[in-house]
Structure 1
């Protein structure tokens, strides 16, 4: 696209200015920002129109396609974009701030930068730079957020505690190794009750969690709740996400309900989409695929409208997981390939679903190679991952990987004796590695989250099982679905009866087929009378 407009002098720079103004802009504003008369811009405008970059929308110019608009923005160096945004903030009547094509966060940044550029702003510079740092952090611009926060800290004024927390969060978001030492120092600030101490607890909880220290991570999030509402929200979202990973779903849902109730009107516009995304991940764990997908879509749309993109990869991972479970591997891969400008929060679910897609597309050898650097956080957050990785390593003829996974999971279980999902994952992975039928049967009977996979692994070992024993191991929902299939009902009719989505009914049916070693509804019908 850039090459197509370079032939006309000024066309590409004008496209860049127009992109910063917004998807829709007035030609008079472009003239003012470029310091030219409208007549001097006509050649460049004509070139952009001819190249289908811009089009007329009434009296305004508009980027013909949103992807073209975002491509122009992405191609610009951040320093240039920030400088142009500051210029735009000085347009009469705050036209950029009123531009509906920009997200809320971008408009807010333009307002703050505009305020900093006005005469007399020095009196409020610390407050404005503190606000700017927070907004930049929400946008994922960790480098600029840190710089703005350090400017406040250099003044040592009233907002220093908040700025110290923002600086720490920016370092952690960028993966800076200094974040841990700084967080430990800040945790003692004001007796652990200040804003920066709350951020420190949030950062340390994430680091402890990724190293497998579950109890310590949960303790930090619960004991050092921030006095600042926006930081307290992020602490609660982090806690709810971890509770969901541990399959403590009732606690996670209760915390998310309380978080929604505490959102003020201004916070609701900015953060409710983030709550939606975390809740969608919890619903995914519960097997409520349609509900998870709907909430992830809603959260994704809301966070993009707000410009708060930190959890976008997590939302995309939920949608990809649902697509994968319903057999749409291509859609799952497309969702996972979407990128977010700047930094985003790390999503273990995104890593997990990426491995699943790799396995479906490229087979066990390539998956085993991709999983070689898997850390303990995946084994902790996804209890099915350990056994799945052992199964994949075995198929790829990589016994070293299988042994490493089992050893890491057993070490994780020993360090967290109060976490039953990790203990079951370790027992499952060990039994699978050792081809221990008795161990797999024990997992199938003691852990509801691993039962289906353990029964499948038991069947793969060729262990005989009587039909009535299999029936006894099925959940109430599975028995109900099997009986309704025997009555001749379709998946949609069954879904209405058992109050699940058709996708979830199909998911349960595939599990029944696998565990019984059958491949059709007719075969299932023959099993039901004997089992029921």
Structure 2
């Protein structure tokens, strides 16, 4: 197929314009899978130009969809958004109708809007079901699972990330299979720890010699894989990840891969200078926060300096908040509280004296968890607070809503499901706004 695609592109318009565009897509996806990110981007850009020059905007698989997906993975967000806008009338036809919503979901997540990412992923699921595009439905579930994991909704992350395991459901398209397997492993690690996640990573890690897609589908993947492997007592796979990340960075000068490789290498070898550089240079706010947190663990183990610990954790907290990562921000606040430092991020929205609008963000979040059937203990675990604090919030909720039971509260949640705020307001990395001190239970390899 690859040779045929090359021949079609070389022949130009003679085989037919649609065939040339399709061949460029094949070459772009293959180059991406082989780690030639610069070549993949150029093939996809050429496909987009040809499609628009030929007036063939309504492609079933539009090269703009492939290009935007690549750009999001590289965190080249401005061009990704422009690509989606330019192809708004033609991207996603036939069996690919759910594709644009999946890419928009990933854009929203990368830019710190996980709740909006969840809505886009749900829209993609509905579109895939209506169009019979079951493989894209699997991709939409993966996008939904990751956005839910970031926002702190572990129940939804499990439902869509692990719910179809062993059920014989449709697999994602081949070019999205690696991403889905990585998300599944991340949800498993969040639930059961790194040792439980590692077996599911076997195929991804074994293929690193020939295929780098597990490192290219997310700028945080290399560091996460190293962290998980080391915490599981498997330094060998961690060394393979670092070697592959270094190769990828060397093969694609000028792209963000170099920072990801430094982050992974700094984690593996305990090099604070590499982690500092990664924290300063990562384009992705979640990756930047992760590097600050890794740096805190490393420096804290080395000299236990309280000042350094507070500075690193404050930086991590503000960047997790900017990424909309509630569960991670809550974990950092808990660690700060343990050393006597309290950090609260308030959203100064106007609230009524009673009724649903009078509830704080934390109270609304607890109400939603009650409506999902969670006990006070499970709510406390998910939000990194005590059972007594949950009980206090519930008393306030019951008073403000004038309800007397959890069933009545669940009815209120259902009635106001369209009024639920995003988990995070849009913020810069200084963390100047936000509210909920919440997260899901997560057995991190980093110390709490």
TM-score range, shorter chain: 0.5 to 0.7
1:323-338 → structure 2 map (5 Å cutoff): 323-336=148-161, 337-338=163-164
Which ranges of structure 1 fall in alignment gaps of 5 or more residues? 1-178, 520-532
Shift in Å, 1:456: 1.0
Q: Which residue of 1 aligns with 2:124?
A: 299
Which ranges of structure 2 fall in alignment gaps of 5 or more residues? 323-328, 330-342, 350-358, 366-419, 426-433
Q: How many angstroms apart in 1 are the aligned matches of 2:26 and 2:436? A: 37
Q: Which residue of 2 aligns with 1:388?
A: 224
Q: How many angstroms apart in 2 are the aligned matches of 1:509 and 1:259? A: 38
Aligned partner of 2:173 among 344, 350, 353: 344
1:12-411 → structure 2 map (5 Å cutoff): 179-191=1-13, 194-224=17-47, 225-226=50-51, 227=54, 228-231=56-59, 233-262=61-90, 272-336=97-161, 337-338=163-164, 341=170, 344-347=173-176, 348-374=178-204, 375=208, 376-411=212-247
Distance 1:341 1:407, change over 3 A: closer
Does the residue aligned with 1:383 lie in a helix, a strand or coil? coil
Q: How many angstroms apart in 1 are the aligned matches of 2:172 and 2:244? A: 29
Shift in Å, 1:382: 1.0
Q: How many angstroms apart in 1 are the aligned matches of 2:189 and 2:447? A: 23
User: Structure 1 length normalisation: TM-score?
Assistant: 0.55
Q: Which residue of 2 aligns with 1:103?
A: none
Shift in Å, 1:503: 5.4
Q: Which residue of 1 aligns with 2:294?
A: 457
Shift in Å, 1:304: 1.7
- Say what the alpha-carbon RMSD is for the aligned residues: 3.8
By percentage of residues, which structure has more helix? 1
Distance 1:203 1:469, change over 3 A: closer
Q: Which residue of 1 aligns with 2:250?
A: 414
Shift in Å, 1:286: 1.6
Q: 1:443–1:451: 8 Å Cα contact kept in structure 2?
A: yes
Does the residue aligned with 2:84 lie in a helix, a strand or coil? helix
Q: Which residue of 2 aligns with 1:21?
A: none
Shift in Å, 1:231: 3.2
Q: How many angstroms apart in 2 are the aligned matches of 1:367 and 1:203? A: 32
Q: 1:221–1:236: 8 Å Cα contact kept in structure 2?
A: yes
Q: 1:311–1:345: 8 Å Cα contact kept in structure 2?
A: no
Q: How many angstroms apart in 1 are the aligned matches of 2:148 and 2:172? A: 25
**CA radius of gyration, larger in:** 1
Shift in Å, 1:437: 1.8
Q: 1:390–1:402: 8 Å Cα contact kept in structure 2?
A: yes
Q: 1:284–1:318: 8 Å Cα contact kept in structure 2?
A: no
Matched, 1:491 2:361: yes
Q: Which residue of 2 aligns with 1:129?
A: none
After alignment, is 483-492 or 435-444 more displaced?
A: 483-492
| Aligned residue pairs, count | 331
Q: 2:36–2:252: 8 Å Cα contact kept in structure 1?
A: yes
Shift in Å, 1:476: 8.4
Shift in Å, 1:308: 3.1
After alignment, is 342-351 or 391-400 more displaced?
A: 342-351
Shift in Å, 1:459: 1.7
Q: 1:280–1:295: 8 Å Cα contact kept in structure 2?
A: yes
Shift in Å, 1:510: 6.0
Does the residue aligned with 1:502 lie in a helix, a strand or coil? coil
Does the residue aligned with 1:372 lie in a helix, a strand or coil? helix
Q: Which residue of 2 aligns with 1:501?
A: 422
Distance 1:334 1:346, change over 3 A: farther
